[in-house]
Amino acid sequence: MIVLFTDFGLEGPYTGQVQAVLYQQAPGIPVISLFSDLAPFDIQAAAYLLPAYAAGFPPGSVFACVVDPGVGGDRPGAVIKADGRWYVGPDEGVFAILTRRARHVECWRLPPPATASPSFHGRDVFAPLAARLARDGRFGAGSVACTADARPEWPDELQRVVYIDRYGNAITGMRAAVLDDSATLRVNGHALQRATTFTDAQPGAAFWYANSSGLVEIAVNRGRADRLLDIAVGTPFELP
């Protein structure tokens, strides 16, 4: 299947235009929107979400990963094969954490596109590439082996909020497996304890937990953590 991981939005034209390319060039292959509302321009936030949310997809899945503030400039495009899944997109760091954690990684750099809108490589470059990978399991010549932009300055675990979901829960860039059950998380002056799930907390109470994709998430039972704790994408937290 082809998986969209973008900041395009679903209701406007961009995801539909990408889907039109995919359905024409990879007929019969399901297209799923995993994230279409990544924080605009925030490549680092996307980079920490990608390995956590890609892990549940089957081998051969093709991810179109497009958070692309540098579109039309000289930032390179890449194809990554990591642990049996394919990823395509502009290579400004979105693959850094994925490739750091993967057991087997291959990477190819794309040549500058001959013809493409200078503002929509998602439609004109990466969608055709994703369609070909999903259809044929390989892509065209003209690419050279590379190493994905590795962002060595980025930490293994990112202590900030990377996504706010529809319930107001705050997903962070830290994996829950690295924390003890007794760890206290401090955000905006609030000290939060760990819970297993929502109903372990009192209604209206804030807590942290290991979310269903393995990341540390800040939540409130039957309430909105973003409003109660005044947090947004980018808000840092501490582990005193």
Map residues 79-118 to x or -, x wherever contact with a copy of itself holds by CB under 8 A.
Answer: --------------------------------------xx
Is 234 a binding residue for a copy of itself by CB under 8 A? The answer is no
Smaller CB separation from a copy of itself, 147 or 199: 199
CA distance 193 to 31: 38
All residues at 6 or more sequence positions from 12 whose CB lies less than 8 Å from its CB, including other chains: none
Q: Is residue 41 close enough to count as binding a copy of itself by CB under 8 A?
A: yes
- Write the single-letter amino acid at 215: L
Q: Compare residues 119 and 188 and give the one whose CB is closer to a copy of itself.
A: 119
- Could you tell me the CA-to-CA distances from 118 to 20, 112, 149, 192 in Å, in that order? 19, 11, 22, 46
Q: 106, 109, 124, 205: which one contacts a copy of itself (CB under 8 A)?
A: 124
Taking CB under 8 A as the rule, does residue 140 contact a copy of itself?
no
* Helix (H) / strand (E) containing 108: strand 105-109
DSSP class of residue 58 equals P
According to DSSP, the residues that pair with 190 across neighbouring strands are: 187
With respect to a copy of itself, which residue has the nearer C-beta, 44 or 107?
Answer: 44
Amino acid at 41: F
Is the backbone of residue 151 left (phi > 0), alpha (psi -120 to 50) or beta? left
Q: What is the end-to-end Cα distance of the chain in Å, rounded?
A: 42
The yes or no reply on residue 71 touching a copy of itself (CB under 8 A) is yes
Q: Does 69 bind a copy of itself (CB under 8 A)?
A: yes
- Position among 86, 95, 120, 207 found at the interface with a copy of itself (CB under 8 A): 120
The answer for residues whose C-beta is within 8 angstroms of residue 198's C-beta and 6 or more apart is 219, 221, 222
- Min CB(145)–a copy of itself separation in Å: 27
φ and ψ at residue 18, rounded to 5 degrees: -65, -45
Binders of a copy of itself among residues 42 to 61 (CB under 8 A) are 53, 56-58
The site for a copy of itself, by CB under 8 A, has a size of: 57
- Choosing from 30, 60, 137, 155, the residue that interacts with a copy of itself (CB under 8 A) is 30
CA 129 to chain centre: 19
* Interface of this chain with a copy of itself, residues 194 to 233, rule: CB under 8 A: 196-200, 209, 211-213, 221-222
- The site for a copy of itself (CB under 8 A) is made up of 1, 3, 7-17, 19-20, 23-24, 27, 30, 32-37, 40-41, 53, 56-58, 69-73, 117-120, 123-124, 163, 165-167, 196-200, 209, 211-213, 221-222
